[in-house]
Amino acid sequence: MQIKLYRLSDEGIEYCIGTEAEVIDIHNEWVEASGRFEDNEVAEALAKTIYDLEEHWTVEHIYTFKEKE
């Protein structure tokens, strides 16, 4: 089993670090709470995959934990 960690940043400022599911959830919470999006834009700005985040953030895979067998 592998657990990959990702970093979201914007203009060199780190926003969060977490697993793929965590950073997607954090992004989606940000979209809904930030006030930067009109009601009709929220659904389009929500992420479903790690690749969806690249429209809003710099996404870096920073580490992989590997379970020993």
The model's pLDDT over 12-54, given as tens digits with 9 standing for 90+, comes to: 999 999 999 999 999 999 999 999 999 899 999 999 999 999 9
Q: Which pLDDT tens digit goes with each residue over 44-64?
A: 999 999 999 999 999 999 999
- Examine the pLDDT at 67 and tell me if it is beyond 90: no
Q: Which domain holds residue 37?
A: 2-66
The answer to whether 23 touches 8, Cβ cutoff 8 Å, is yes
- Examine the pLDDT at 69 and tell me if it is beyond 80: no
- The total number of structural domains in the chain stands at 1
pTM for the whole structure: 0.89
